Amino acid sequence: MRYDVLIIGGGPVGNYLANLLGDDGFRVAVVERKGAFGGKACTGVIGAKNFKRLGFPEEAILNELKGAIFYSRIQSFEVGRPTTQAYVVDRRTLERRLAEEAVAKGVDYYMSTSFIGFKEGRAIVQRPGERMEVEASFYVGADGVNSTVAKSIGTTSQAEFLTGYEVEVLGSFEPDKVEVWVNKDVNPDFFFWVAPISEKIARVGTFGSLRAFRDFLRIKGLKETSAVEYKAGTIGLGWRKPWVRGNVALLGDAALQIKPTTGGGIVFGAFCAHALRKAINNGDLSQYEKLCREIKKQVSFGLKLRKAFRELSQDDIERIFEVLGSREGIEVIESQAEFDDHFKTAKAIIKRPKLLARLIRISPGLIRYLL
Ligand SMILES: Cc1cc2nc3c(=O)[nH]c(=O)nc-3n(C[C@H](O)[C@H](O)[C@H](O)COP(=O)(O)OP(=O)(O)OC[C@H]3O[C@@H](n4cnc5c(N)ncnc54)[C@H](O)[C@@H]3O)c2cc1C
């Protein structure tokens, strides 16, 4: 079998690229290991501006979020806007709808089909009952954080790999606000999130230890036995290099195109899909990484923030909360924060002399990273 492009992995990012290349008239195939879409651990929070900009399917939207409540060990503050800032989406619908649209554009899908490796320039894939060889001009590894394609082309990773735990649990929630809990005494590795789907159901999770996750559920007064879904998954925060070798490119989580501050990867992966589409259209994959420079900048900045977070004590975090939760802090966040652009958000905060002076006193290191 021969294609222009073989995409390995039919997750949200692989399916998104399949659509872009389907529009361009390429002969494209997607191989997906699972027999059905969805099932991955993912809260499905996507910034509203980029959701629209990227043209994701609206049928996938489960809930709209207009604000956030930030909690530390001893205090909290709230930010919000009148308009929707982020959506909580259903992963299965997102992946499936993108795949349906791609099929309608002529893309071939091979479900229950696993990529095994490359042999003499061809991809070896295992389907139920048969092993096939697929030849393509370009191969794209969109096969997630534990990418087999990345291993096959001999990439190296300098990254922090974290396990995430998430439940969909019954309780009582503010339906249009996400809760973000930062308490290093309970979880030194990451924050906790409570992303409501409705007044009665929310996705609650964190990255780090299972024990920290369970402690948080207890603190929140949520019963593990009131969870109707329980999932775990991995994210990788850092770099996997290179993203291109010969006619093979990595995309999405396979390339660790993940926001280090939140663990979100759908938007960064989709933006890089546009870059990869351009490189494929130009017949030159070597342009791809350069075309992803904006995402690389965001990842690089996020890694610095992550390093700063690692170095902060909970007492430092309490003092940072006092600054961000002040009238001026809230005003800057509400007027200038961008869901997927933490670089812009941080710049807006440190442009305010009073906020900057207070933050320098708490953590000169943090400001050094931000600058
Ligand atoms: C607990 C948790 C919460 C998260 N919450 C969010 C969130 O709120 N917002 C957000 O943007 N991101 C979130 N993420 C990250 C998000 O899930 C990923 O960034 C996103 O799934 C990346 O999409 P992808 O298509 O690159 O990879 P994946 O979604 O991992 O898809 C890869 C696909 O490749 C297939 N595959 C793997 N190996 C092979 C093979 N050998 N052959 C064929 N197919 C193969 C897999 O079956 C899978 O379908 C979260 C992650 C975790 C763990």
Looking at the structure, tell me whether residues 26 and 104 fall in a common domain: yes
The model's pLDDT over 214-234, given as tens digits with 9 standing for 90+, comes to 999 999 999 999 999 999 999
What mean pLDDT value characterizes the chain? 96
From 297, 320, 337, give the residue that closes a domain: 297
Last residue of a domain, one of 272, 297, 322: 297
**Do 249 and 138 meet the contact criterion of CB atoms below 8 Å apart?**
yes
Clarify whether residues 325 and 268 are in a common domain.
no
Confidence (pLDDT) at 141: 99
Q: Is residue 126 part of a domain?
A: yes
Q: pLDDT tens for residues 124-169? A: 999 999 999 999 999 999 999 999 999 999 999 999 999 999 999 9
Taking the CA of residue 269 as reference, the ligand 1 atom at the shortest distance is 26
Q: Which pLDDT score, from 0 to 100, does residue 354 have?
A: 95
- Are 271 and 320 in the same domain? no
The domain total for the chain is 2
Residue 40 CA, ligand 1 centroid: distance in Å: 6
- Confidence band, pLDDT 50/70/90 cuts, at residue 341: confident
d(CA 296, CA 248): 19
Residues 95 and 35 in one domain: yes
Question: Which protein residue's CA is at the shortest distance from atom 10 of ligand 1?
Answer: 264
Query: What pLDDT shows up at residue 321?
Result: 97
Kindly state whether residue 318 falls inside one of the protein's structural domains.
yes
Cα separation, 220 vs 229, whole angstroms: 17
Claim to verify: residue 29 and residue 116 sit in the same structural domain: yes
340/275 same-domain check: no
Band (369; pLDDT cuts 50, 70, 90)? confident
164: left (phi over 0), alpha (psi -120 to 50) or beta: beta
Q: What angle do CA 277, 282, 283 make, to 5 degrees?
A: 95
Q: Whose CA is nearest to atom 41 of ligand 1?
A: 115
| 259 domain-assigned | yes
Q: What is d(CA 122, CA 320) in angstroms, rounded to the nearest whole number?
A: 53
Q: Is residue 52 part of a domain?
A: no
CB 91 within 8 A of CB 15: no
Does a structural domain hold residue 265? yes
Task: Judge if 6 and 98 occupy the same domain.
Answer: yes
Q: Are residues 353 and 250 in the same domain?
A: no
Question: What is the distance between the alpha carbons of residues 50 and 97, in angstroms, rounded to a whole number?
Answer: 18
pTM (global) more than 0.95: yes
Question: Would you say residue 82 lies in a domain?
Answer: no
97 and 142: one domain? Answer: yes
Amino acid identity for residue 330 in this structure:
I
Domain that holds residue 29: 2-39+91-159+238-297
pLDDT at 364: 87
Q: pLDDT at position 75, please?
A: 97
Tokens representing 41 are 């651990």
CATH of the domain at 244: 3.50.50.60
In this model, does residue 367 exceed pLDDT 90?
no
The DSSP letter of residue 34 is S
Q: 100 and 18, same structural domain?
A: yes
Final residue before a domain boundary, out of 255, 274, 297 = 297
Clarify whether residues 256 and 324 are in a common domain.
no
Q: Percent of the chain beyond pLDDT 70? A: 100
Residue 262 falls inside a structural domain: yes
- pLDDT category, 365, cuts 50, 70, 90? confident
Ligand 1 neighbours by CB, cut-off 6 Å:
8-14, 31-34, 40-46, 114-115, 142-144, 148, 164, 166, 205, 233, 235, 252-253, 258, 263-267, 269
DSSP annotation string for 86-97? EEEE-HHHHHHH
Q: Position 362: which residue type?
A: I
Q: Is residue 221 part of a domain?
A: no
Banded pLDDT at 267 (limits 50, 70, 90): very high
> Do 279 and 353 reside in the same domain of the chain?
no
